[in-house]
A and B are shown apart, each in its own frame.
Chain A
Amino acid sequence: MLGAFLSGLTVTCAAALFTAGCVILARRSTRYPSTAPQRVPALGGFEPETHAWSRFHVRYYPMALLFIAFEMEMMFMYPWAVVFVEEGVTALVEMGMFLAILAVGVVYGWREGAFRWQ
């Protein structure tokens, strides 16, 4: 079982290192260094006044918070999916209750406008 994870990890690291290697090699071995006018961000012609990195006003933060709570449901559903056929109808009813409870949360969020751009 650990062998499978090992080969998965090896494949991931191989793909990542190959891509990173190509990009780093290209950036190191380029014959044209980037001059100041080239480094200006591409906005169609004029310069920005400030850095782009700033306290970016995310407009969907209530949805993001709602999502973290909703994500926990996945943690409980994966094991449930494995034993579903064994447990039969009781599993269906229990998960039905669990989903209904969390669906109430989503409906509440929708009614309060959590999914609209604030």
Chain B
Amino acid sequence: MTLVTVLLVAAALIGIGVWGALSQQSFVMLMMGIEMMVNGAILAGGAFWAFTGGGAPKGQVLVIVAMAVMAVEMSIGFALVVAVYRARQVDMTEGVSSLRG
């Protein structure tokens, strides 16, 4: 349970997140990938706070901000998915490529 092992686990989670986000076609699965990446980031933040930060409160604030980012991203992401589905009845990333200018 040293800093390096926790960071390796965080790296693995972020790797899975990247793989998931890039490989999936549907919006919602794309957001699952992003959530997985932020999950890895939170774990890395916690590890740095515990092993190198010496329990500095600013480290905890950073992790809470990361959770806030995840909440905001998810809320706005799903609002967008609803808006796009209402307009286009499609939720695949291909279907909406026509949005490009």
Contact = CB atoms under 8 A, between A and B. Distances in A.
A98 interface: no
Contacts, number: 21
A100 to B, nearest CB: 18
Contacts of B74: 68
Contact of B64 (A61, A66, A68, A75): A75
A94 B81 CA distance: 35
Interface string B63-77: 010011001101100
A72 B68 CA distance: 6
B82 interface: yes
Contacts of A65: 75, 78-79
Give the interface size bracket for A toward B: under 10
A71 B71 contact: yes
Interface in A44-78: 61, 65-66, 68-69, 71-72, 75-76
Nearest to B76: A65
B75 to A, nearest CB: 5
A71 B79 CA distance: 17
A76 B67 CA distance: 11
Contacts of B78: 61, 65
Interface of B: 64, 67-68, 71-72, 74-75, 78-79, 82
7 contacts: A61-B78, A65-B78, A69-B71, A69-B72, A72-B68, A75-B64, A76-B64
